Chains A and B, each alone.
Chain A
Amino acid sequence: MTMMTAKEYEESLRKLRLQVYMFGERIENVVDHPIIRPSMNAVAKTYELAHSPEHEDLMTAVSHITGKKINRFTHIHQNVGDLVKKSKMGRLLGRETGCCFQRCVGMDTLNALSIVTYNIDSKYGTAYYPRFLKYLEYIQENDLMVDGAMTDPKGHRGLAPHQQPDPDAFLRVVEERKDGIVVRGAKAHQTGAVNSHEVVVMPTLSMRKEDADYAVSFALPSDAEGITYIMGRQSCDTRKLEGGTMDQGNILFGGHEALVVFDNVFVPWDRVFMFREVDFSGQLVETFAAYHRQSYACKVGVGDVLIGAAQTIAEYNGADKASHIRDKIVEMNHLNETLYCGCIACASEGHKEPSGTYCVNILLANVHKHNVTRFPFELSRLAQDIAGGLMVTLPSEKDLRSPDTGRWIRKYFKANPNVPAENRMRILRLIENLTLGTAAVGYLTESIHGAGSPQAQRIMISRRVNLAEKQRAAKKLCGIED
């Protein structure tokens, strides 16, 4: 097969037998569920654009294993150009969907494993790397969507995994068999989990020898026996159940997160990529995190949408010529393009690892992600400032359609005489969606905590920055000789 179309991707999901729960009930038809389907649409876009001549240059790559044309989301970066294209692809998809398209986490997981499995083998003489390459070829050949699962529920934050009152607070190995291992635990905040064909688990932090059972990485089909998905709620999510075409804001796309429970799940050895090599758990976490921090290029694309919406509502309000509005639009662009600088810089300054995989510049990736924890909030504040208070007091689509109230809404919510009130309502709903509705999950809170909370980046920045060299430069200029 090698590259699925969007339609083939959707049909492939229908064949999965996932155990998914939402609002306390089992969901039998996951693909068509109105709250989940927009998130499936967003992933489907990653398949659709790979077949589009005007986007294939970013969306596809040549497999270093088979030489075949593949979807870039299944590719292992072979040079700095691949890293740069990954950032550009993120911006493209962020702008096309206006939300999280969920597929970068799997790509980042595969790339991190391509480095760390090689390094484990080099130290211990294990055979994880050839095993991983075989798995990678399976993913590439079938163009599968992978959920990269790192974040454990973590229990008491002050205790190590083996010290937890409930030992399952971190996912762990509970049984070792001749043919594989049995694991138990959970992974939280799993973006795109029920839109995935595969789930690849990694440890969530650097482990010590007492935590050996927690230093495990493996892959499973997403519908493996013993896996249960419990969907997370999003602000305004039930608007998608109302059947209208306006109040959702983004009427096509969305994201989702789920708690994924592993209840004594069997993993065959040929899908295990780390088993009690505690000294490599930290390297896997840091490598994955660096790639995933680069992946926040997608927020630049979502920022493009928000800036476009802010400019549009300014025009619809008749305020676009006001100097302070124009200045706010400039500020929004300044912030958004500054984010873009970071994700391009960490890719352009990438380097080759011993396995041959190219890795981003870890310092710059962390700086980029740290900016992402802040700038979308300022962009959102500016967009809300430009939009005006009507954004949060606007009546519903049903009121607009009602014969009793619609004429008043059309009359009193018209501002620019050339723009119907409905269009003004639509763009306001989109800004609401992005800055405090369902898309704010991805654009704001996930921008803080996804791929590591701000403090994690500050730790990495302090570790990676070369302070001694900066001091040497300063001292030399002012004549200090130590």
Chain B
Amino acid sequence: MKPRVRIKYCGGCNPKYDRVALVEELKARLRGTVAWASSDADPCDMVVAVQGCETACADLTAFAAYEIYPITCPEDLERLIEEMRMKG
């Protein structure tokens, strides 16, 4: 069974990169490897925390029970994809 992944963004007050474009790339490159949880109500196995900068202020209290994969810059993408593929 594919791992179910939830995307959680920070609020995006002053992001240093295009967070939405990065997530689109992430989804495209992991197509078929993982399943994406689309809302808070959907069950998930892990959470990708998409933080716009190193402050990483996204509120993750609701996801304390899950494995969390943070992204704070575009350079984190390759590492994340590698780890996700290993999970998948």
The residues of A with any CB-CB pair to B shorter than 8 Å are 53-59, 84-85, 88-89, 91-92, 95, 304, 340
Contact = CB atoms under 8 A, between A and B. Distances in A.
Interface in B22-81: 50, 57-59
Contacts of A88: 11, 13-14, 57
Nearest to B52: A54
Interface string B2-14: 0000011111111
A56 B50 CA distance: 13
Nearest to A94: B13
Contacts of B10: 57-58
Contacts of B8: 57
**Chain A interface SS verdict (over half):** helix
Contacts of A56: 9, 11
Size range of the interface on B? 10 to 19
Given A54-B19, A54-B20, A89 B14 contact: no
Contact of A91 (B9, B14, B20, B59): B14
A53 B9 contact: yes
B11 A89 contact: yes
Given A57-B12, A340-B14, 7 more contacts: A54-B12, A57-B9, A58-B10, A89-B11, A91-B14, A92-B14, A95-B14
A55 B14 contact: no
A110 B8 CA distance: 29
Nearest to A84: B57
B21 to A, nearest CB: 11
A357 B58 CA distance: 22
Contact of A92 (B11, B50, B59): B11
Nearest to A60: B11
Interface-centre pick from A54, A55, A85 (highest chain B CB count, 10 A): A54
A58 B11 CA distance: 4
Most A-side CB within 10 Å, residue of B11, B14, B50, B57: B11
Given A54-B19, A54-B20, A91 B13 contact: yes
Contacts of B11: 55-59, 85, 88-89, 92
Contacts of B19: 54
A77 to B, nearest CB: 15
A334 B7 CA distance: 33
B20 to A, nearest CB: 6
A206 B52 CA distance: 43
B71 to A, nearest CB: 13
Most interface-central of B8, B13, B50 (chain A CB within 10 A): B13
A43 to B, nearest CB: 19
B14 A304 contact: yes
B13 A89 contact: yes
A92 B20 contact: no
Closest A-B pairs by Cβ, 4 of them: A58-B11, A88-B13, A57-B11, A54-B9
Contacts of B50: 54
Which residue, of A53, A59, A88, A95, has the highest number of chain B Cβ atoms within 10 A?
Answer: A53
A58 B9 CA distance: 10
B38 to A, nearest CB: 9
Contacts of B13: 58, 88-89, 91-92
B55 to A, nearest CB: 9
B60 to A, nearest CB: 10
A53 B20 CA distance: 10
Contacts of A95: 14
B14 A53 contact: no
Nearest to B19: A54
Contacts of A54: 9, 12, 19-20, 50
Contacts of A84: 57
Nearest to B20: A54
29 contacts: A53-B7, A53-B9, A54-B9, A54-B12, A54-B19, A54-B20, A54-B50, A55-B9, A55-B11, A55-B12, A56-B11, A57-B8, A57-B9, A57-B10, A57-B11, A57-B12, A57-B57, A57-B58, A57-B59, A58-B10, A58-B11, A58-B12, A88-B11, A88-B13, A88-B57, A89-B11, A91-B13, A92-B14, A95-B14
Contacts of A304: 14
Nearest to A300: B14
Nearest to A92: B13
B15 to A, nearest CB: 9
A305 B55 CA distance: 22
Contacts of A55: 9, 11-12
A59 B11 CA distance: 7
Contacts of A58: 10-13
A59 B14 CA distance: 14
Interface centre among B7, B10, B12 (most CB of A within 10 A): B12
Contacts of A92: 11-14
Nearest to A96: B12
B37 to A, nearest CB: 11
A57 B13 CA distance: 10
